[in-house]
Amino acid sequence: MNFNLDTQQKELFFNSMFKELAVIIFNTNKEVVFSNEKMAAALGYSQEEILHLHHKTFCFDEYIYSENYQNFWDSLLILKKSFQDKIFRKRKNGEQIILESVYFPVLNNQNKVINVIKIAFDITKKEQILSDTIKKVQDSSDALTDISTDGNEKIGILTENLKDVDTLSSNNQSATKILEEDIKKISSILVDINSVAQQTKLLSFNASLEAARVGNKASGFSVVASEMQKLANQTKQLTQDIHENIESINEQTIKVLESSTSTNNKINASKENLESLLVSYKKLLETANSLNDEATVLKDVN
């Protein structure tokens, strides 16, 4: 679609453009010959102050003395090519300003460059927000890494504790089996003691009969006494066996109690680690929400 603008329309068009956009014009000596108020203010000057200033005035030394600076102007003045990019310039007070700029050469009828026009948008605030947001995202990323590392360590400790609990549980089972065997032995010994008691009663009964039969003649009692001595010895030995088994039971019981205490300690330690892990993942959630907020900011800025 072609537009044919008369002089008045062209004037209105350029006036509107100069009002809304930051515009500056340089001659081939790279000096300012025109700047609208928007561009002058962005660079910290009045429109009167900025006139005749050299382009280098708005650049930092590192850029001025670089090969890129000479190439930049050669491209505009010699190759007659336009330039568009994000650039860093220096305000009157020395502060940095970031501009999204378009430079293009103005040619006369002989195809010679007579001026260079620059149209720019001040994106300093946008870039600062972007930079701050990127830093927050990086900090959040570091936080996620720390949380992940901490979480893995706690999970490792928890895993080892659970292994210890499993070992303690196995030890408890072994101790319980030993207790069961000792109890069976005691039961067997009690049966023997009961048998000895029955035999002792029988001997006692027979001794009574013998005493009634022989009267004062007690020669037959030597046999009874001997048998009673044997039974006493057997009872003593059985009692010793019971004592030893009871000691074994006590020892195994102590082991079970110690294992139970250790098991409880391990369980408590695991519980503490789980709680700490939950706190870490709560922080992880908060970090994720923070990242989401930052992503929203980035989206709005762009």
| Amino acid identity at 7 | T
Residues 6+ apart with CB under 8 A from 85: 101
Q: Classify burial at 4, counting beta carbons within 10 Å of its beta carbon; exposed 0-12, middle 13-18, buried 19 or more.
A: exposed
> What are the tens digits of pLDDT across the range 161-212?
777 776 776 777 677 677 677 767 766 776 776 676 677 667 666 766 666 6
Distance CA 47, CA 67 (A): 30
- Rounded Cα–Cα distance for residues 199 and 273 (Å): 64
Where does CATH 1.10.287 sit in the chain? Answer: 130-301
**CATH of 7-122 among 3.50.50.60, 3.30.450.20, 3.40.50.2300, 3.30.499.10:** 3.30.450.20
Question: Each residue's pLDDT tens digit in the chain (302 positions)?
Answer: 455 666 777 677 777 777 778 999 999 999 999 999 999 999 999 999 999 999 999 999 999 999 999 999 999 999 999 999 999 999 999 999 999 999 999 999 999 999 999 999 999 998 888 788 778 877 777 777 777 677 677 777 777 877 777 677 677 767 767 767 776 776 677 677 667 667 766 766 676 666 666 655 555 555 665 666 676 667 667 667 766 776 776 677 677 667 667 776 777 777 677 677 667 767 766 776 776 677 667 666 65
Q: Contact, 164 vs 259, CB < 8 A?
A: no
Q: Does domain 130-301 have CATH number 1.10.287?
A: yes
CA distance 131 to 129: 5
Q: What is the pLDDT of residue 288?
A: 67
Determine the Cα angle at 99 with ends 27 and 301, to 5°.
155
* Global confidence as pTM: 0.55
Distances (CA, A) of 152 to 90, 145, 181: 49, 10, 44
Task: Calculate Rg over the CA atoms of the chain.
Answer: 51
Residue extent(s) of CATH 3.30.450.20 domains in the chain: 7-122
